Amino acid sequence: MTMEQLSAYTVKIQLSQEELPLLLPQGTYPSDSEPVLHMISFLLTRAEAFTGIPFTQQQVTAELLSASDGGLILYLTAMDHSPPMPKKAAGYKPHKTKRIAAAFVDRIPLQQCCTVLQHSLPQIPASRLYQFQQQWILLLQIHTQNESCCKHILQEYGRLYPHSPLQLAQLDEYGICLHPHNAVARILKGRS
């Protein structure tokens, strides 16, 4: 018998043609017969001991397949009973957000850009400002429907900055985070 954990809730058990008669001595049975259910129950406890998945405490689906060597392949999957997500009100559509960044070499264009952003896009869910390699990097989280407008504004005053996960990690590690939250408003407030 071989056992392999395929995921956090699924185990594959393979019985060879020689091992199968030890668990089902009379040959073939219907899948819902008592001998097959006893075999599945035995294999459930073995799989739980092997993987730590609480099969005996959850609902389980069992899929029985014939192996090419005359044996049996059994897939056991524990049903995840995590609490359901709360239902949203009718007509509710969540806003999808996207990150966009720009680099500025002078503070005056950065302040001008923030002024235009605040008037054009009053809803910016999050913004951060970094100082990195003699430039300021403004990182914005915006609603996707505002992406083209935001790009135009950023390109007018600075240059778009690539913001892959690696570049964001470099910013966090080697840059100085001047404003970790609500940077656009803080830049404008600091100007006055």
* Mean pLDDT of all residues in 149-173: 84
What is the band of 80 on the pLDDT scale with cuts at 50, 70, 90? low
What is the band of 192 on the pLDDT scale with cuts at 50, 70, 90? very low
Q: Determine which of 1-15, 65-79, 81-95 has the lowest per-residue pLDDT on average.
A: 81-95
> What dihedral angle (degrees, nearest 10) is formed by the CA atoms of 145, 146, 152, 155?
-110
Task: Report the alpha-carbon distance of residue 87 to residue 94 in Å, rounded.
Answer: 12
Average pLDDT along the chain: 82
Residues near 155 by beta carbon (within 8 Å), at least 6 away in sequence = 102
What is the band of 81 on the pLDDT scale with cuts at 50, 70, 90? low
Task: Report the alpha-carbon distance of residue 180 to residue 157 in Å, rounded.
Answer: 21
Task: Report the alpha-carbon distance of residue 187 to residue 111 in Å, rounded.
Answer: 7
Task: Report the alpha-carbon distance of residue 15 to residue 22 in Å, rounded.
Answer: 10
